[in-house]
Amino acid sequence: MNGKFSPRASYALSLPGGRTLSLGPRCLVMGVLNVTPDSFADSAPFADSASAVEAARRMVHEGADLIDVGGESTRPGARPVPADEEARRVLPVVRALAGQLNVPVSIDTTKAVIARDALAEGAAIVNDVSALRYDPALGSVVARAGAGLILMHMRGRPAAMYAEARYGNVMGEIVRELDEQVRAAIAAGIARDRLVVDPGVGFAKRPADSYGVLARLPELATALDRPILVGPSRKSFMRDALEGRPAVERDWGTAAAVTAAVLGGAHIVRVHAVGAMTQVVKVADEIRSAWSD
């Protein structure tokens, strides 16, 4: 890079109804809205849909550009949630948010039936941690709705994903495996301009792998030519560096990881502490801008 950052590529992410989301001029902040009783990163679950909606409204006020609603934990060791229970958790929240917020709502799910119903309720993006590997029908659901799709790199299932964390060249293998899923999405009828890729920090990766991903993020941008989302927020890869602090006490570590992601060219960062991380992103973007070609 000749001592400077390459300019972040710009994209127009196509969304339902002819809308677009501009990615590139600045790094966007995606607020995490977990409506699960067993989230690894939240101090307490939301008691009801109304409290979840209020939390989302607060995130937007604090600077969130997107809200990601999830009803099934993907923490290490997590067990699957039946579709009817996941629907009970997320659909009322998505319905309310789509009617109240002026930012896109994303549904964090691997299930075609949940994606279909959430998109019908007004969600604009599907965030699939399996990158279409778990449910073969999900791709066609996204294609029919004209929705955006986030493809995250992971191996295996959350209950045993660390058994798959064996890499010779972590970024090279992530690039190759994500490229396969980009091709699968296009084969399912999803336009390339609706796709975002996520290297999956913390998913089927040992701490050294996750740090390596953050250090080598520009390689992903160059290889796949798609917008990049990075979600390091409060994850366990930073636990040892933070002397064993629990997830809810990892926001300072998250700030460092978010800064690295922005400097590495991320288009979106997915975070829990939206107010604080919005400030981090703004300053990191200014540094990047000052040191770009």
Task: Report d(CA 201, CA 204) in Å as an integer.
Answer: 8
CB atoms within 10 A of CB 45: 15
Catalytic status, residue 235: yes
pLDDT value of position 39: 58
DSSP codes of every residue in 140-182: HHHHHHT-EEEEE---S-GGGGGGG---SSHHHHHHHHHHHHH
Would you state the pLDDT for residue 1? 43
Q: Where are the domains of the chain?
A: 11-290
Predicted TM-score (pTM) of this structure: 0.94
Q: What are 122-146's pLDDT values in tens digits?
A: 999 999 999 999 998 999 999 999 9
Catalytic residue, candidates 116, 157, 234, 270: 270
Backbone angles phi, psi at 121, to 5 degrees: -85, -5
Torsion angles phi and psi, residue 160, rounded to 5: -145, 30
Residue type, 207: P
Say which residues have a Cβ less than 8 Å from residue 84's Cβ, sequence separation at least 6: none
CA 69/CA 52 separation, integer angstroms: 9
What one-character DSSP code corresponds to residue 102? S
Quick count: other Cβ atoms within 10 Å of Cβ 79?
Answer: 10
Strand pairing category for 66-70 and 268-271? unpaired
- pLDDT score of 291: 84
Alpha carbons 28 and 288: distance in angstroms, whole number: 14
Give buried/exposed letters for 200-230 (b at 16+ CB in 10 A, else e). bbbbbbebebbbbbbebbbbbbebbebbbbb
The 10s digit of each residue's pLDDT in 69-94 is 999 987 666 678 999 999 999 999 99
- Contact predicate 159/204, CB 8 Å: no
The question of whether 270 is a catalytic residue gets the answer: yes
In a structure prediction context, what are the per-residue pLDDT tens digits for the chain, which is 293 residues long? Answer: 456 788 899 999 999 999 999 999 999 999 999 998 755 555 455 657 899 999 999 999 999 999 999 999 876 666 789 999 999 999 999 999 999 999 999 999 999 999 999 999 999 999 999 999 999 899 999 999 999 999 999 998 877 778 888 999 999 999 999 999 999 999 999 999 999 999 999 999 999 999 999 999 999 999 999 999 999 999 999 999 999 999 999 999 999 999 999 999 999 999 999 999 999 999 999 999 998 65
Pick the CATH number of 11-290 from 3.40.630.30, 3.20.20.20, 3.40.50.720, 3.30.70.270: 3.20.20.20
The active-site residue, picked from 8, 235, 250, 288, is 235
Alpha carbon separation from 247 to 4, 51, 60, 161 (Å, rounded): 33, 21, 22, 19
